[in-house]
Amino acid sequence: MTITEDQDARSDAPATPRQRRAARIAEAAGGGWGLILLKIVVLGLILALAVYAALVLIRMDQWVPAVLVVAAALLAVWIYSGRGRLPAKYLMPGLVFLFVFQVFAALYTGYVAFTNYGTGHNSTKESAVNALMLSAQERVPDSPEYELTILDQLGELSFLVTDPDGEVLIGGEDRPLEEVDDAEMRGGKAVALDGYTTLEFAEIVANQERISEMAVPLSDDPNDGALRTPDGSIAYVYTSTLVYDEAAGTMTDTRTGVVYSDIGTGAFTAEDGTELKPGWQIVVGFDNFTRAFAEESIRGPFLSVLVWTFAFALLSVLTCFALGLFLAIVFNDPRMKSKKYYRVLMILPYAFPGFLSALVWAGMMNQEFGFLNVVLFGGADIPWLTNEWLAKASIILVNLWLGFPYMFLICTGALQSIPEDVQEAARVDGASAWQVFRSIKLPLLLVAVAPLLISSFAFNFNNFSLIYMLTGGGPRDVTAGVNVGATDILITMVYKVAFVGSSADYGLASAFSIIIFILVATISVLAFRRTKALEDLN
Amino acid sequence: MTTQTAAPSTGAIVTAEAGVRGEGREPRRPFRKYFRETGWRHIVGVLATVFALFPLLYVFSASLNPGGTLLTANSLFSRVSLESYLTLFQNETHPYGAWFVNTLVIGLVTAFFTVLLGALAAYCFSRMRFTGRRFSLTALLVVQMFPQMLAMVAIFLLMVTISDIFPAIGLNTQIGLIMVYLGGALGANTYLMYGFFNTVPASIDEAAKIDGAGHARIFFTIILRLVAPILAVVGLLSFIGTCSEFVLASVILVDPDKQTLAVGLYRFVSDEFSKNWSVFAAGAVLAAILPVALFLALQRYIVGGLTAGSVK
């Protein structure tokens, strides 16, 4: 490897032999060895990590990621050990993260949007069946007693049981009972096994809760039941009141006789529509998107959120730009003194972390105790953040505070780049100050700042922290089928649907993400086209 | 502070100063003319400054109010003590000290690697010609159109899966969060740096090559020094951005001990909103000092970086 590295360094050098020799000498003199050594160590580490990761993945039956990890590591070694392949050497580190946490995340969002992933639907059918049967377990009335010893192996607990016939078996939560023959016996009861530590009485007491929740299946068929223990010394057979018929794909409740069947909705459903939870994850096609646009309880709030998102983003850009431009023009007078100080003071809101500003304003706008009501409005009771329309106005106001310094800076820069002579010529021709501004300065300015206005729009479209910290999206719309309020924008809606409250609907949230992406992307592309045209005109 | 800047409206002082710059000494203007031309600008300036500064003064005053609530915070600077700052570090359910350290560490590590990864890619795009170069540059722009925040659900589910297999880098770990942030290291940063790298003449690289330097040495010892200003800007923007990032941090970091300031302070406020207002204010002031100081110190570069490319 070291040799190829040497050649690699040389491959960039000019071709004549003399220069090549010079290159080699310089490389050797300049501590190139340290670099090479570092490279070997780093590549070795990467390979070792990849092998370890692959082994762990294989143990968990995750074959596809295992292959990917190994392939990526081999690619890295191939790229960095050989000569040439220079661009790849520089691009690979960034691209690895980009692919995993951005590209894959984006694609995965697309996939999740087409599933029913969420609370009650977060795993496979098999584990849903197991979870259902476990949750409905009851002790068999005349169950035989199993003498029990609890064993520990690397933090995982197992049951070592001696059945009434004297046979010794071991099993854990995810592995059904199997026979062992080398257990250490005491008085007809198995008490220890090689490779495991026997839990002492005190340890059993300490782990009581965990042990009482353990259910060790008797066999691969969940209908056979499982062993559970009330006290840590005797285990009994528990069977589920639910019976799973794999061939028919049905769950039958033996107490009520109701048959729940898999009708393709990701949960066992009875004829009257009641579902057994948990269900499992299935692909539901465009269901989430149809729900967003068609289901009454979601469509209403969704559409009003959509309208408000546009209004908010547009108004934010307009108000901030207007104030910023106005101030920039006011301060763009060469005769004015101490501009520098004003400028520094006015930048401060922009430098202050955005999430903090929103929280501070939320305090100032508090209806009962806030500064605005108590001091500025002399004890008035104005519901700044709890009335639907005032809350919207407050958000625009706070965003103006946050955003005008940025626009002020940009406009100042753009104004100064507009050549003086154009304006002077217009003034000489008799144009008024307003005419000069309207027909000369503004168009020139717009060409320069239009791309920034568009990105500002896109930023405000997803201005999560302002909305979430200031109003939390509230006041809440109690009639809505999803957790939204009057000031929620799309991105806070995504967050609330997925992470806030007791139930999560990842599928619906991802569908909203996709919708946001399509909207922002379309608007940006169209707007950039328009500004290109604007630029051509000038 | 703000009222002092209003003083020039007396006219005489300002016109005397006004003569220092500009073409020679201007004759004194009568007050009316002065006000119409310059004076009113100061009034606008003062109003804007009051608007900009007031919330900051308010939170600073609230932080100095010992044991204050939202209501007592309204009497600005009536009582001054550092008690709230001390209380801040003694609350066990809200470990401010841990949040602060976490934010610094996550912010610095993310900023460092963002700069490194971005600079590597920018150097590559700026100095090398290879198949797929144009395509990759455009692809980077397109990928950026789907910001990480939109993928929060997918990232959360991905981290849940990872923590089943490798708990050390999965959910509720800071390494995991940093790796997620690094997913956004390329993109806009690469473009910003790419433009700057292009302004460094390629003849410098060539000269170094002729002197026998390898590409790695050219990059690390020559180019990185020449583009230091843009590295500082990108690092700073990344640091400030990471420090105030809320969505991903709140989704990935679960334990109070592991959270960042953005997540922790939000929880703090939503838990006990008006009761401990001055403690929150103290936390906010401390949290803001570093970003604000950095920003003010480097504002010239940041503003330049922000407007680069659009304002010619």
ipTM: 0.84
The shortest CB-CB distance from B209 to any of A13, A60, A347 is to: A13
The shortest CB-CB distance from B14 to any of A337, A341, A452 is to: A337
Asked whether the beta carbons of residue B133 and residue A361 sit closer than 8 angstroms, the reply is: no
Output the pLDDT for position B52.
Answer: 93
Model pLDDT for residues B229-261, shown as the tens digit of each residue:
889 888 988 998 899 899 999 999 988 889 999
SS3 assignment, position B128: coil
Asked whether the beta carbons of residue A333 and residue B37 sit closer than 8 angstroms, the reply is: yes
The tokens describing A485, both together, are 């309020």
Window 367-396 of A: residues touching B by CB (8 A cutoff) are: 369-371, 374-375
CA–CA dist A193, A8 (Å, integer): 58
> Do B286 and B99 meet the contact criterion of CB atoms below 8 Å apart?
no
My answer on whether omega of the bond before A475 falls inside 30° of 0, hence cis, is yes
Blockwise average pLDDT, block size 10, chain A, 538 residues: 42 60 58 75 91 89 88 90 83 91 93 87 78 75 81 82 84 83 79 82 79 82 79 80 77 78 78 77 86 86 92 96 93 81 88 91 89 87 90 95 91 84 84 84 86 88 92 81 87 91 87 92 85 63
Which among A510, A508, A471, A512 has a CA at the least distance from the CA of A488?
A: A471
Q: Residue A350: its chain B contacts at CB < 8 A? A: 295
Largest Cα–Cα distance in chain A? 115
Please name the residue that has the structure tokens 């604000």.
B292
- The DSSP string of A459-528 is HHHT-HHHHHHHTTT-SB-TT-SSS-BTT--HHHHHHHHHHSSS---HHHHHHHHHHHHHHHHHHHHHHH
Model pLDDT for residues A348-369, shown as the tens digit of each residue:
998 899 899 999 999 999 888 8
Output the pLDDT for position A31.
Answer: 53
Q: Residue A337: its chain B contacts at CB < 8 A? A: 8, 14, 17-18, 38
Strand pairing category for A146-153 and A250-253? unpaired
Strand pairing category for A178-179 and A168-172? antiparallel
Output the pLDDT for position A32.
Answer: 61
Length of chain A measured in residues: 538
Residue of A nearest to B265 (CA): A356
The shortest CB-CB distance from A94 to any of B2, B58, B120 is to: B120
Q: Residue B139: its chain A contacts at CB < 8 A? A: none
CA–CA dist A159, A204 (Å, integer): 12
Q: Residue B262: its chain A contacts at CB < 8 A? A: 353, 355, 465
The larger pLDDT score, comparing residue A197 to residue B44, is at B44
SS3 assignment, position A16: coil
Taking all residues of chain B, what is their mean pLDDT, rounded to a whole number?
83
What contacts A127, CB < 8 A, 6 or more positions away?
A280
Asked whether the beta carbons of residue B116 and residue A334 sit closer than 8 angstroms, the reply is: no
Strand pairing category for A250-253 and A259-262? antiparallel
CA–CA dist A244, A262 (Å, integer): 11
Output the pLDDT for position A512.
Answer: 92
- Mutant choice from A59, A102, A497 vs B, greatest count of B C-beta within 10 A: A102
Residue B224 has pLDDT above 80, yes or no: yes
Q: Compute the radius of gyration of chain B from its Cα atoms.
A: 25
Asked whether the beta carbons of residue A13 and residue B53 sit closer than 8 angstroms, the reply is: no
CA–CA dist B92, A472 (Å, integer): 26
Asked whether the beta carbons of residue B183 and residue A101 sit closer than 8 angstroms, the reply is: yes
The larger pLDDT score, comparing residue B305 to residue B165, is at B165
Asked whether the beta carbons of residue B292 and residue A352 sit closer than 8 angstroms, the reply is: yes
The shortest CB-CB distance from B295 to any of A26, A351, A495 is to: A351
Asked whether the beta carbons of residue A405 and residue B45 sit closer than 8 angstroms, the reply is: no
Helices (H) and strands (E) in chain A, counts: 21, 15
How close B70 comes to chain A (CA, Å)? 6
SS3 assignment, position A251: strand
Please name the residue that has the structure tokens 């406009």.
A411
Output the pLDDT for position A259.
Answer: 80
CA–CA dist A211, A215 (Å, integer): 9
b/e sequence A234-256, b meaning 16+ C-beta within 10 Å: ebbbbbbebbbeeeeeebbbeee
A519 in contact with chain B, both atoms CB, cutoff 8 A: no
Residue B191 has pLDDT above 80, yes or no: yes
Backbone angles phi, psi at B200, to 5 degrees: -85, 120
Q: Residue B152: its chain A contacts at CB < 8 A? A: 494-495, 498-499, 513
The tokens describing B103, both together, are 């934010």
Output the pLDDT for position B285.
Answer: 94
Asked whether the beta carbons of residue A60 and residue B152 sit closer than 8 angstroms, the reply is: no
Residue B3 has pLDDT above 60, yes or no: no
Residue of B nearest to A470 (CA): B266
Output the pLDDT for position B10.
Answer: 37
A41 in contact with chain B, both atoms CB, cutoff 8 A: no
Asked whether the beta carbons of residue B247 and residue A464 sit closer than 8 angstroms, the reply is: yes
> Do A359 and B265 meet the contact criterion of CB atoms below 8 Å apart?
yes
A330 in contact with chain B, both atoms CB, cutoff 8 A: yes
Window 117-136 of A: residues touching B by CB (8 A cutoff) are: 117
Asked whether the beta carbons of residue B52 and residue A401 sit closer than 8 angstroms, the reply is: yes
Q: Residue A91: its chain B contacts at CB < 8 A? A: 120-121, 124, 136
| DSSP label of A223 | G
Residue of B nearest to A515 (CA): B150
- The DSSP string of A46-98 is HHHHHHHHHHHHHHTT-HHHHHHHHHHHHHHHHHHHSS--HHHHHHHHHHHHH
Model pLDDT for residues A505-537, shown as the tens digit of each residue:
899 999 999 999 999 889 888 888 887 766 655
Asked whether the beta carbons of residue B58 and residue A93 sit closer than 8 angstroms, the reply is: no
Asked whether the beta carbons of residue A335 and residue B22 sit closer than 8 angstroms, the reply is: yes
A13 in contact with chain B, both atoms CB, cutoff 8 A: yes
A91 in contact with chain B, both atoms CB, cutoff 8 A: yes
Q: Angle at the Cα of B131 (from B127 to B132), degrees rounded to 5?
A: 95
Output the pLDDT for position B17.
Answer: 41
Which among A219, A214, A246 has a CA at the least distance from the CA of A229?
A: A214
Please name the residue that has the structure tokens 């197992």.
A158
> Do B254 and B228 meet the contact criterion of CB atoms below 8 Å apart?
no
A–B interface: beta-carbon pairs under 8 A = 319
The shortest CB-CB distance from A413 to any of B128, B273, B307 is to: B307
Asked whether the beta carbons of residue A371 and residue B146 sit closer than 8 angstroms, the reply is: no
Output the pLDDT for position A131.
Answer: 77
Asked whether the beta carbons of residue B150 and residue A494 sit closer than 8 angstroms, the reply is: yes
CA–CA dist A464, A375 (Å, integer): 29
The shortest CB-CB distance from B184 to any of A90, A102, A464 is to: A102
What contacts A208, CB < 8 A, 6 or more positions away?
A232
Helices (H) and strands (E) in chain B, counts: 18, 0
Q: What is the percent of chain B where pLDDT is above 90?
A: 33
Separation of first and last alpha carbons in chain A: 57
Largest Cα–Cα distance in chain B? 79
How close B177 comes to chain A (CA, Å)? 10
The tokens describing B182, both together, are 């690094």
Output the pLDDT for position A9.
Answer: 44
A100 in contact with chain B, both atoms CB, cutoff 8 A: yes
- Mutant choice from A4, A16, A98, A500 vs B, greatest count of B C-beta within 10 A: A98
What contacts A225, CB < 8 A, 6 or more positions away?
A137, A140, A217, A218, A237, A238, A239, A240
> Do A55 and B79 meet the contact criterion of CB atoms below 8 Å apart?
no
Residue of A nearest to B128 (CA): A87
CA–CA dist A477, A487 (Å, integer): 10
How close A115 comes to chain B (CA, Å)? 12
A294 in contact with chain B, both atoms CB, cutoff 8 A: no
Residue of A nearest to B294 (CA): A351
CA–CA dist B160, B180 (Å, integer): 13
What contacts B166, CB < 8 A, 6 or more positions away?
A53, A56
Q: Residue B150: its chain A contacts at CB < 8 A? A: 106, 109, 462, 491, 494, 513, 516-517
Model pLDDT for residues B197-206, shown as the tens digit of each residue:
998 888 888 8
How close A23 comes to chain B (CA, Å)? 4
b/e sequence B182-193, b meaning 16+ C-beta within 10 Å: bbbbbbbbbbbb
